[in-house]
Structures are given as structure tokens and as C-alpha cells.
Structure 1
Amino acid sequence: MVEDKAREQLTQQLDLHAYKTLNETILAQVIIFNKRREGEASRLTLDIYQKASTGAINEDIYETLSPLEKELSKLLTRIEIRGKRGKKVLVFLWS
């Protein structure tokens, strides 16, 4: 797997190409897992990530989630980012 190879290279030595490859594969996984547009997921910053939550969700956002997303929100780390037209959307991350 491309991600595993990039991780292995980075554990052996710092390699810009391996870092870029790992970054791109993880971003692709987040986009696919969340069914989000690339632009939304690519706006994630370290600061936003550090503010990730596992607590209660804003009621307005919770009502927009599908039943599956509502269940996942109880189990996974959630990050709120600005989506299209400035609306807040959730991005779920797994460990």
C-alpha cells in the first residue's frame, strides 16, 4: 500500500517525497470517508485539528446528519470546518 510505504520511509529518514505522499493519501481517505469535497477537507489545519471534539454536537449541525452519521458522531473524533457558503460541516476522523 502506498501509505504504508510512505510511513516506513519516514520512520527511516526524513523524506519530502514520502511526507507528501503520506499527506495526499491521508487527505484522500478523509475525503472519501466523509463524502466531502476536496476543498473542505484540505482546509484542515493543525489548530483546527487540536480543537477536535468528542463531546456534544451543536443541535443545528446534528439535525443535518444522516442516521449513520449521528451514530458515528458518538464514536469518532469530529472536526467542524467551514463548508460551502460558510456553513459549518463535520469531518469525522478515525484513530
Structure 2
Amino acid sequence: MLVQFAWAATRTKGTYLRAKYDSLVIRRGKKRALIAVGHKILIATYFILKNKVEYQELGYDYLQNLKKDKKINRHIKILKELGIEVEIKNKVA
């Protein structure tokens, strides 16, 4: 049943679960990507029920922005380790 939910979620355009599926299907294949999306749905359902909050859609671009933020932070850390002072003018949100 969860795989059916995952299949439906991956067919919805512009959602986080679609982006997750698209990023995984290249490396893992269709079936494993569906299982991973089903797992994401299960985890989200658990925390929604546990914390009694509404589901918040992260959006299709969430993964890209997350990767960009991680790269920026990693490069800043490397520069600081090399002894270079880094001044951040505009923080990436």
C-alpha cells in the first residue's frame, strides 16, 4: 500500500517527493527509488502524528538549495582551516 502512495506522490509535479524520486531513480532504479520515497512518506507520517502538525511541502527545489548550502559551508570551513578569514555578506537562506 505504501508503494502505491509513493507511486502517486512521484507523479505529482513540483513536489519534494518527486524531486527525491528523480534524484534517486538515476542511481538506484525505479523500484528502489519508489521504496525510498515510500520510506520518506512513512517517516513524515510518523512525525506528523507524533508532533500533531500539518504537512509542509518543501518544494521541488529544496534538494538543490540544500546541496548548495552544504557546499558553501564546506568551502568556508576549508578556507578557515587554511587560515583565511572569511566574511559573509549575504547569508544564503
Would you say same fold, with TM above 0.5? Answer: no
TM-score, normalised relative to structure 1: 0.28
> For the pair shown, which has the larger CA radius of gyration, 1 or 2?
2
TM-score, normalised relative to structure 2: 0.29
Larger RCO (CA under 8 A, 6+ residues apart): 2
**More helix by proportion, 1 or 2?**
2
